[in-house]
């Protein structure tokens, strides 16, 4: 009886491994390129307003790629859908805000905008936001949030744990 259970478990394990190999869906999470002054080595060319992350393998059409989880401080948000266009934080405002955080990437979402391939998890996709990378630990993120709140510039600032997602499909 014991040998039969072992055989069944071994068979199930091999089947799971085989399915994973056939589907080619091993998910590797890329490191976030969080320093605003450093370049990011990635198979995808991120735009200036996006938070880049490393993708080491060649891109495959129809596949999603994710960053490791991280914390961000959401500084501001706007409703993404308008009657005429996709509303988002301007690049000018993002660059102005970037000057406040020399070594942390300030990034903006453009959910619902035409041909946007980058999404962020754990946020309401009906809104686009301006955020600053706040680190990988909650303690580090709280320090960044406290700095933001102390400036009185973004009184509604809040922490969010998220991931960057590249939907490589358009």
Q: Which residue has the higher pLDDT, 101 or 15?
A: 101
Instruction: Tell me: pLDDT of 11 over 60.
Output: no
φ, ψ of residue 126 in degrees (nearest 5): -80, -5
C-alpha to C-alpha distance for 16 and 31, rounded to whole angstroms: 27
Residue 12: inside a domain = no
Q: Which residue has the higher pLDDT, 25 or 41?
A: 41
Return the closest-CA partner of residue 168 out of 67, 61, 43: 61
Instruction: Tell me: pLDDT of 61 over 70.
Output: yes
Residue 91: inside a domain = yes
Residue 6: inside a domain = no
pTM of the model: 0.82
Residue 10: inside a domain = no
Report the pLDDT averaged over residues 145-168. Answer: 95
* Percent over 90 (pLDDT), the chain: 72
Residue 2: inside a domain = no
17 token code pair? 């491994």
Calculate the average pLDDT of the chain.
86
Q: Mean pLDDT check: name the lowest of 21-25, 62-66, 100-104, 133-137.
A: 21-25
Question: What residues are paired with 148 via a beta bridge?
Answer: none
Instruction: Tell me: pLDDT of 44 over 90.
Output: yes
HEC string of the chain? CHHHHHHHHHHHHHHHHHHHHHHCCCCCEECECCCCCCCCCCCCCCCCCCCCECCCCCCCCCEEEEECCEEEEEEEEEECECCCCECCCCHHHHHHHHCCCCCCCEEECCCCCCCCCEEECCCCCCEEEEEEEEECCHHHHHHHHHHHHHCCCCCCCEEEEECEEEEECC
pLDDT-derived band at 8 (thresholds 50, 70, 90) equals very low
Residue 19: inside a domain = no
Q: Under the phi-then-psi rule, with left for phi > 0, alpha for psi from -120 to 50, and beta for the rest, what region is 122?
A: left
pLDDT tens-digit series, residues 108-130: 999 988 889 999 999 998 999 99
- Expressed as residue numbers, the domain containing 48 is 30-168
Residue 146: inside a domain = yes
For residue 53, what pLDDT is reported?
98
Instruction: Tell me: pLDDT of 62 over 50.
Output: yes
Instruction: Tell me: pLDDT of 82 over 70.
Output: no
Overall domain count for the chain? 1
Residue 22: inside a domain = no
For residue 21, what pLDDT is reported?
40
């Amino acid at each position: 009886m014991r040998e039969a259970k072992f055989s069944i478990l071994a068979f199930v394990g091999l089947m799971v491994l085989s399915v994973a190999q056939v589907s080619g869906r091993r998910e590797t999470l890329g490191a976030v390129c969080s320093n605003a002054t450093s370049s990011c080595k990635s198979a995808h060319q991120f735009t200036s307003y996006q938070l880049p992350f490393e993708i080491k393998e060649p891109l495959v059409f129809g596949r999603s790629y994710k960053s490791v989880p991280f914390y961000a401080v959401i500084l501001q948000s706007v409703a993404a859908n308008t009657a005429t266009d996709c509303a988002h934080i301007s690049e000018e405002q993002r660059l102005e805000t970037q000057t406040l955080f020399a070594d942390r990437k300030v990034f903006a979402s453009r959910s619902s905008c035409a041909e946007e391939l980058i999404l962020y998890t754990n946020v309401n996709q009906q809104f686009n936001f301006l955020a600053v990378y706040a680190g990988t630990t909650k303690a580090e993120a709280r320090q960044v949030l406290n700095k933001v709140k102390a400036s009185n510039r973004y009184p509604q600032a809040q922490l969010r744990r998220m991931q960057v997602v590249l939907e490589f499909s358009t």
